[in-house]
Amino acid sequence: MTSAAAEPSMSRPWGRGLWISAALLLAMLIAAEAALRTSFVFERLPMPRPYYTYDVTRRVHYLTELERVHGPIDVLFVGSSAVRAGFKPPQFDKAVKAAGGGRVLSFNGGLSKMYPGTARLYLAHVWLEQTKPRFVLHGIRPNELVSGSSGSFLKNGAIESLWLERAPLAMLEARLLGASKLLQYRGTLNMSLERWSADKPLHAARERGEMGTDSRGYGREKTPLRITRKRHSRRLWLYRKMPNAKQYERGLAVLEAMRAECERHGVQYVLVHLPEHPDRYAREQGGMLWQDYQARVHTWAAAHHVPFIDVTHGDFHRFGADELYSDYHHLSLRGAERLSELVAKDFAKLLSEPR
């Protein structure tokens, strides 16, 4: 009887020790998670790549640091590499203020291959999880709106490949991976040892395959158009297909999904036409496609009460000087400065209108 009565008291120290160990482990994990979120650690360890490209990791870090120092952003640019090369946030912010729109803080979230189908996924699962801007400015052009790209390149990303599965458990795993720096940095120790043994810096200024941007997300295209022409670049293709009644159905449906996603978050969705060099429309098909694109986008935007900013005002020659371009759809530095200023002026007018 004595031993039976003593048994519960003997188990208490063991149970207490288990709880203490669990609490210590949890505290260590929380501390490690917090440390991995700091700039100090980010700038010293190899950068993780949970997404299809290192560009996303660095851009999310830049956005976090911008908001930590200056507070929430007002404007987020989203879209393809043409957006990344087309908008300089400091230039845009300055021009908005000069046009009477007041102080705004903007960030460029344009990424390679982010046509509407994939831009929608990033808007929902990355950008609007990271920040709550007042406005999302989505850059589009005819080719992107027609494209039926399924985003197969997203299979190269640990997180995006889970989005593509669409299963509830996969989406939960993607959410956890996107939220946890500890999970994202898995495998970093091996990379650190490899670089250390090769006498290389642990943190690279630019990782392999990464497209460089500044801290506000703008990525400058350095090759002038005259050189791109001499090289006969594949980026100088022309519009060749005739327009048809169904070619924008899929793209416009995606725009509606993006508009609805913004509305759920209390964000104003705005479309912005991305100018292309007039030579892209040189063939008869190009001119016809331009007219069809303009009519359909204006009709859709009016029907859904979505502002549409187009600095060409329906004339693709209006933003057509060679010095504004690096190729037929990526702008040069001068082109980005010019587009940022012109869009800012129209955006400032939008700010003065009742929402």
Q: Where are the domains of the chain?
A: 1-36, 46-156+206-352
Q: Dump pLDDT digits (tens) for 218-230.
A: 999 999 999 999 9
Question: Is 138's pLDDT higher than 70?
Answer: yes
pLDDT tens digits, 259-288? 999 999 999 999 999 999 999 999 999 999
Q: How many helices (H) and strands (E) does the chain have?
A: 16, 5
- Token pair recorded at residue 71: 């507070």
Contact 74, 85 (CB under 8 A): no
- pLDDT band at residue 170 under the 50/70/90 scheme: very high
Residue 76 dihedral angles phi and psi, to the nearest 5°: -120, 120
Nearest partner of 311 among 86, 73, 80, 91, judged by Cα? 86
E strand intervals along 73-148: 75-78, 106-108, 135-140
Least confident of 2-6, 15-19, 303-307, 332-336: 2-6
The confidence score (pLDDT) of residue 1 equals 46
Rounded-to-integer distance, Cα 286 and Cα 291, Å: 9
pLDDT tens-digit series, residues 61-85: 999 999 999 999 999 999 999 999 9
CATH 3.30.300.130 fits 46-156+206-352, yes or no: no
Looking at the predicted structure, is the pLDDT value of residue 355 above 60?
Answer: no
Q: Spell 142-169 as b/e; 16+ CB within 10 A means b.
A: bbbbbbeeebeebeebbbbebbbeeeee
Q: In this predicted structure, what is the pLDDT of residue 43?
A: 92
